[in-house]
Chain A
Amino acid sequence: MTRLVRAELAKLRTVRLFYSVAAAMAAFGALTVVANVTSAGQQGNPPLSADDLPAVVGSPATMLAGAALLLGILGMAGEFRHHTITQTFLTTPDRGRVVAAKLAAYLLAGIAVAVLTLAVTMAVALPWLSAKGLAVSALDGDLGRVLAGTLLAAGLCGLLGVGVGALVRNQVAALVGVLVWVVVVEGLLLNLLNAPSLGKWLPSAVAAALTNPGGDHLSRWAAALLFAAYGLAFALTGTRFVVRRDIT
Chain B
Amino acid sequence: MAVITVEGLTKRFGDVVAVDDLSFEVDQGTVVGFLGPNGAGKTTTLRILLGLVAPTAGSARIQGGPYRQLAAPLHHVGAVLEASGFHPGRTARNHLRVVAIAAGLPRARADEVLSAVGLDHAADRRVGGFSLGMRQRLALAAALVGAPEILVLDEPANGLDPEGIHWLRGFLRHLADEGRTVLVSSHVLAEVAQTVDHVVIIAHGRLVTQSTLAALSTRTKQVVRVRTPQAQTLRPLLIAQGIQADLAGPDQIVAADTTPETIGRAAAAAGIVIYEMGADRSNLEEVFLELTSPQGGTS
Question: Which residues of A are at the interface with B, using a C-beta cutoff of 8 A?
Answer: 3-4, 6-7, 10-11, 14-17, 78, 82-84, 86-94, 244, 246-248
List 17 additional contacts besides A86-B82, A246-B52; criterion CB under 8 Å. A7-B101, A11-B87, A14-B91, A14-B98, A15-B90, A82-B87, A83-B85, A84-B87, A86-B52, A89-B51, A90-B50, A90-B52, A90-B79, A91-B74, A91-B103, A93-B68, A246-B47
A244 and B52 alpha carbons, distance in the complex (Å)? 10
Q: Complex formed: what's the CA distance from A83 to B50 in Å?
A: 15
A87 to B70 Cα, complex, angstroms? 15
Residues of B within 8 A of A94 (CB): 68
Is B142 among interface residues, defined by CB-CB distance under 8 A? yes
Chain B residues in contact with chain A, CB under 8 A? 44, 47, 50-54, 67-70, 73-74, 79, 81-82, 84-91, 94-95, 97-99, 101-104, 142
B68 and A244 within 8 A (CB): no
Can you offer 25 A-B residue contacts whose CB atoms are under 8 A?
Answer: A3-B101, A3-B102, A14-B97, A15-B89, A15-B90, A16-B89, A17-B89, A78-B87, A82-B85, A82-B86, A82-B87, A84-B85, A84-B86, A86-B81, A91-B102, A91-B103, A92-B102, A93-B69, A93-B73, A246-B52, A246-B54, A247-B47, A247-B53, A248-B44, A248-B53
Q: Which chain B residues border A244 with CB–CB below 8 Å?
A: 54
Instruction: Give Cα distance in the complex from A130 to B97, angstroms.
Output: 47
| Chain B, Cβ-Cβ closest to A91 | B102
Question: Given that A15-B87, A15-B90 are contacting pairs, would A87 and B53 also be in contact in the complex, using a CB cutoff of 8 Å?
Answer: no
Q: Chain B residues near A7 (CB, 8 Å)? A: 98, 101-102
Q: Which residues of A contact B68 (CB under 8 A)?
A: 93-94
Known contacts: A83-B85, A247-B52. The answer to whether A90 contacts B73 by CB under 8 A is yes
Q: Which residues of B contact A3 (CB under 8 A)?
A: 101-102, 104
| Interface of A: prevailing SS | helix
The one of B53, B54, B82, B94 that contacts A83, using a Cβ cutoff of 8 Å? B82
Task: Collect the chain A residues with CB atoms within 8 Å of residue B86's CB.
Answer: 82, 84
Q: Which residue on chain B has the smallest CB distance to residue A82?
A: B87
Q: How far apart are the CA atoms of A17 and B88 in the complex, in Å?
A: 12
> Hey, which chain A residues are within 8 Å of B95, CB to CB?
14
Q: Which 9 residue pairs across A and B have the least CB separation, nearest first?
A: A7-B102, A14-B94, A93-B68, A247-B52, A246-B53, A83-B85, A7-B101, A15-B89, A91-B102
Q: Report which residue of A11, A14, A91 has the largest number of chain B beta carbons within 10 angstroms of its beta carbon.
A: A91
Please report the C-alpha to C-alpha distance between residue A248 and residue B50 in the assembled complex, in whole angstroms.
Answer: 11
Residue of B nearest to A95 (CB): B68
Taking CB atoms, residues of chain B closer than 8 Å to A83 are 82, 84-85
Report Cα–Cα, A234/B13, bound state, in Å.
27
**Across the interface, which residues of A come within 8 angstroms of B73, CB to CB?**
90-91, 93
- The CA of A248 and the CA of B103, in the complex, are separated in Å by 22
Chain A residue, CB-CB nearest to B88: A82
Which residues of the partner chain B approach A247 to less than 8 Å between Cβ atoms? Answer: 47, 52-53
A10: which of B52, B97, B103 is its contact (CB, 8 Å)? B97
Cβ-closest chain B residue relative to A85: B85
Q: Complex Cα distance A247/B103, Å? A: 20
**Complex contacts, B50 vs chain A, CB 8 Å:** 90
Alpha-carbon separation in the docked complex, A219 to B89 (Å) = 42
A118 to B13, CA, bound (A): 50
Most-contacted residue by chain A among B50, B54, B85, B88 (CB, 10 A): B85
Cα A90 to Cα B53 in complex, Å, equals 11
With a cutoff of 8 Å between Cβ atoms, the chain A residues found around residue B69 in the complex are 93
- Give complex CA distance A248, B95 in Å: 21
* Smallest Cβ-Cβ distance to A16: which chain B residue: B89
Which one of A16, A86, A93 contacts B70 once the chains associate, using CB atoms below 8 Å? A93
Give the residue name and chain of the A residue nearest to B85 (CB): A83
Residues of B within 8 A of A6 (CB): 101
Residues of A within 8 A of B53 (CB): 246-248
A6→B101 CA distance, assembly (Å): 7
The complex places the Cα of A93 from the Cα of B84 at a distance, in Å, of: 20
Q: Is the CB of A87 within 8 A of B91?
A: no
A167 to chain B, nearest CB (A): 19
Q: How far apart are the CA atoms of A14 and B91 in the complex, in Å?
A: 8
In angstroms, how far is the closest chain B Cβ from the Cβ of A99? 14
Quote the shortest CB–CB distance from A13 to chain B (angstroms).
9
Looking at the assembled complex, report how far the CB atom of B159 sits from the nearest CB atom of chain A, in whole angstroms.
15
A115 to B10, CA, bound (A): 52
